[in-house]
Structure 1
Amino acid sequence: MEITPFPFPSHPQDDPEQVEDPSKFYALFDDNSDHFYELANPFKRLCEVHGEAVMPLKEDSDWVMDSSFFLDEEQSYGQGPAGEDELEVVSAPARTNKRARPSSSLPVSPGAEASGSGHQQQQQQQRRLWVKDRSKDWWERCNHPDFPEEEFRRCFRMSRATFDLICQELDPVVTKKNTTLRDAIPVRQRVAVCVWRLATGEPLRLVSKRFGLGISTCHKLVLEVCLAIKNVLMPKFLNWPEGERMKAIKDELEMKWGIPNVGGAMYTTHVPIIAPKENSAAYLNRRHTERNGKTCYSVTVQGVVDPKGVFTDVCIGWPGSMPDDLVLENSALYKRASQGLLRDVWVVGNSGYPLMDWVLVPYTYPNLTWGQHAFNEKVGEIGAVAKEAFARLKGRWSCLQKRTEIKLQDLPVVLGACCVLHNVCEMRNEGIDPELRFELFDDEMIPDSNGIRSMSAAQARDHIAHNLLHHGLPGTFP
């Protein structure tokens, strides 16, 4: 919230023409609602005296106003011309430097106040205010039942049936009530704004024009819907497998790659961000900076997936300077494993993770045996399932591919919503266009001591490598 000065002269009560000792008029701009509110009276008197229109400085403004900028609370509201909504406050884009000034054609009439109370009442009746009528044609076409299914899928990265399911699940949380000033934005449009923003990564100003809503309204909708996805859909579509579901995952992975008791594959990726104002060094991604030749800041997203590429666990938001093993040690997954909740389960990772009692990683030292080569090949194929899942995640939700404008404190919720929506699409067999395929470039840093944290795990890994070689499984011989 910011106080913005407006340099309008104050008009003394006895003579509206006097402009001596000019004072500043202040209006209050609310970033969350895009509304201006009155804090001082001089400009109100100016409008009452002249009854003239007051226009924005720039022609491309998203808001217009006349002397009714300061309506009395008891005034009634109706329908404006051409179907525009007549409201109490002025809707504006999310810009704090927006200013208004009286039109250059405003004459100063010496007898303006001499007309008496009847003239003031007439001016008060003529004061009106309308919000700019933005076009919603594009969204109305998309929301029409006759809109082509393939085009809908290309726009929102999912079929209409999956989109309807998400809207139905979120309806109790996202629905808003109508007010006396305007009707609430429908649930489908709210969800569509969020999904489109995540899918395309378009700037909010373009999302605003596409859906016919204010810029700050679109920003607010994205955060609200992402939070609803986290609270409503995440418990249903993103959770650690237990019981029969875990057994089915183990059986499927062993059938494909011959390694028993594997409950998932793990991978960590980076999402670029704008350098934060505080503690920016912690978010500096040196590996990406050195490879790309330009400074890169990021946050990490660690995830475990099942054989179909569905996320079963995610850890989001640790600074990009942290290596993969340190991100793992700070995750809830690590805490559950430390409490003995992952017994008889292997999570396969790449060489950036340490070898532990529940984390299975490839051999990293030189001069490997035939069995160790075979083991690395199989572990690499399982790990590729996780990497491919992250590639589809970033390909489907393009907002993860470039530096995001979202505030750092809101980013975990948005990234978590992307993971949940990814799961919904994967579970419902929503394919992804080949043109959206994204190549991941995440460097692996081998932990100290070859990443061995448990000697019993090292022995178990040797035993698995021996069995892979001597059982003659396909693809285990170089």
Structure 2
Amino acid sequence: MGLVSFTISHVLLVNQVSNIRHFSCSVHICCLRHFVKHLLLIKELDGMKEITPNNTNITNSSKLMQQRKRKADALGYDLNLATSSGGETAEKGGDGPQRRLWVKDRSKDWWDKYNSADCPDDEFRKAFQMGKQTFDTICDELNASVAKENTMLRDAVPVKQRVAVCIYRLATGESLRLVSKKFGLGISTCHKLVLEVCSAIKDVLMPKYLQWPNHESMSVISDEFQTLSGIPNVVGSMHTTHIPIIAPKVNVAAYFNKRLTDKKQKTCYSVTIQGVVNANGVFTDVCIGWPGSMPDDQVLEKSALSQRADSGLLKGVWIVGGSGYPLTDWVLVPYTQPHLTWTQHAFNEKIDEILKVSKDAFSRLKGRWSCLQKRTEMKLQDLPVVLGACCVLHNICELRDEPVEPDLVNEVVDDDDVEMVVPEVALRSEFASKARDTMAHNLLHHNHAGTSIL
């Protein structure tokens, strides 16, 4: 009788819970026992009696719940009963339904420590590369975009935790496995949160914190660069950096970076970030995601910045770039021909002072967001959003005077110091050539130029 009862119960459980139509009798006895153990637990959970403060069998039910919880723990489950909105009514005497949360138990002690009001600001900054006030400001501005509603299955991840997962991942470059352990979340959940928050940063914060300056702002920037170098009408310092990636499965040759491969003596693949910064190292324009084999001048030609110049919005001003860029009516570059005159050497030194602003900005960018220095496993189509979010967060930190540890900046390897020189004869304009010669002469005449070379 006991065997018949077990067989009938087994068939009912298989049909009702798992919808298994066919079950082989040849299954190994150990696997069968483990499988039935799961089914019996699921059956118990589905038939579990609701426990409310008005239930007269609370004591017996509590003992039963403890027994079932021990079974669930043995199988790796976390059985957590929490009341929904209907359950809150039941606490007041109503008969509202209850919500059952059935999720894996994970510790989030690490995050609870940093989310505590008692966490020192310096310690928080070491982990997230920004102070608690800056972090809270970002959370407030992103709240409407990243907040989620609780469901009958589980509570939504709080906004602060969602944003923290993203910023911590960008700041440390740690694997998703380690990030998930620290925040008490699943690996796939952390990956999803990083992309969601980066997308929100692009949509909500980028228009506010990373935008091309208006006429009034350009006048201020021009004055600041002229104070720095003596060169007038400069509204930006431009540089292109490379972000290492794992070799893509398609179009791999396009992402092959020959310059870095020759320098490091190992095969390198990358995508580019072209950035323009103001005199304070704040990005005003970025062009992200072109393959690493593309030279700087081609990246520039394909950028929105070039389109802005073609429409006449950069008339009468200069953006200073390195020797990898062409000399044009709006791009000012150093002299590159052999046997430079003393005046040309002196002018190049002033150009280098301006270029140092953008190079230092990229060093701080990579120092803050260590993910930019590691070969990323992210999909290529996701990279522009993530890299753009890093640039926006950099600007927020710069505008709020958030310090970056000198050691982090010093550890940044300058992989962009090997530039492909663009032949000036083929690409420069006659207007730009004469304008540069005039500026070089005026710098020397007004004693702004000096050189340590000669």
The alignment's TM-score, normalised by the length of structure 1, stands at 0.77
Residue of structure 2 equivalent to 1:454: 429
Gaps of 5+ in 2: 1-6, 52-64, 82-99
1:453 CA displacement: 2.5
Q: How big is each residue's C-alpha offset from its partner over 1:185-227, in whole Å with a ceiling of 9 and x where there is no partner?
A: 0000000000000000000010011100000000000000000
| Contact persistence 1:355–1:451 (CA under 8 A) | no
SS at match of 1:198: helix
Answering whether residue 232 of structure 2 is matched by residue 260 of structure 1, we say yes
Answering whether residue 106 of structure 2 is matched by residue 134 of structure 1, we say yes
Residue of structure 2 equivalent to 1:217: 189
Residue of structure 2 equivalent to 1:207: 179
Q: How big is each residue's C-alpha offset from its partner over 1:11-67, in whole Å with a ceiling of 9 and x where there is no partner?
A: xx99989xxxxxxx9xxxxxxxxxxx9785447999xxx995449xxxxxxxx9655
Answering whether residue 210 of structure 2 is matched by residue 235 of structure 1, we say no
Query: CA separation in 1, counterparts of 2:306 and 2:46?
Result: 57
Residue of structure 1 equivalent to 2:391: 419
Given residue 382 of structure 2, which amino acid in structure 1 is its aligned partner? D
Given residue 290 of structure 2, which amino acid in structure 1 is its aligned partner? W
| Contact persistence 1:77–1:86 (CA under 8 A) | no
Answering whether residue 361 of structure 2 is matched by residue 389 of structure 1, we say yes
Query: CA separation in 1, counterparts of 2:113 and 2:9?
Result: 56
Residue of structure 2 equivalent to 1:84: 78
| Contact persistence 1:275–1:297 (CA under 8 A) | yes
Q: How big is each residue's C-alpha offset from its partner over 1:147-182, in whole Å with a ceiling of 9 and x where there is no partner?
A: 011100000000000000000000000000001111
| Contact persistence 1:364–1:450 (CA under 8 A) | no
Residue of structure 2 equivalent to 1:400: 372
| Contact persistence 1:353–1:451 (CA under 8 A) | no
Within a 5 Å distance, the mapping from 1:166-315 to structure 2 comes to: 166-315=138-287
Say which of 434, 439, 453 aligns to 1:464: 439
Q: In proportion to residue count, which structure has more helix?
A: 2
SS at match of 2:208: helix
| Contact persistence 2:228–2:353 (CA under 8 A) | no
Query: CA separation in 2, counterparts of 1:44 and 1:247?
Result: 80
Say which of 295, 312, 319 aligns to 1:323: 295
Aligned residues: 397
Residue of structure 1 equivalent to 2:122: 150
- CA gap of 1:413–1:191, structure 2 versus 1, over 3 A, is same
| Contact persistence 2:346–2:449 (CA under 8 A) | no
Answering whether residue 413 of structure 2 is matched by residue 439 of structure 1, we say yes
Query: CA separation in 2, counterparts of 1:395 and 1:261?
Result: 30
1:394 CA displacement: 0.6
| Contact persistence 1:323–1:445 (CA under 8 A) | yes
Given residue 470 of structure 1, which amino acid in structure 2 is its aligned partner? H
SS at match of 1:146: coil
| Contact persistence 2:285–2:305 (CA under 8 A) | yes
- CA gap of 1:185–1:365, structure 2 versus 1, over 3 A, is same
Given residue 211 of structure 1, which amino acid in structure 2 is its aligned partner? F
| Contact persistence 1:273–1:297 (CA under 8 A) | yes
1:434 CA displacement: 1.2
1:439 CA displacement: 3.1
Q: How big is each residue's C-alpha offset from its partner over 1:374-431, in whole Å with a ceiling of 9 and x where there is no partner?
A: 1100001100100110011011100000100111110100000000000000000011
Answering whether residue 343 of structure 2 is matched by residue 371 of structure 1, we say yes
- CA gap of 1:153–1:54, structure 2 versus 1, over 3 A, is farther
Q: What's the % identity of the aligned pairs?
A: 60
The alignment's TM-score, normalised by the length of structure 2, stands at 0.81
- CA gap of 1:38–1:242, structure 2 versus 1, over 3 A, is farther
SS at match of 2:153: coil
| Contact persistence 2:327–2:424 (CA under 8 A) | no
Query: CA separation in 2, counterparts of 1:76 and 1:412?
Result: 51
Residue of structure 2 equivalent to 1:473: 448
| Contact persistence 1:237–1:424 (CA under 8 A) | yes
Residue of structure 2 equivalent to 1:29: none
Residue of structure 1 equivalent to 2:319: 347
Query: CA separation in 2, counterparts of 1:378 and 1:76?
Result: 79
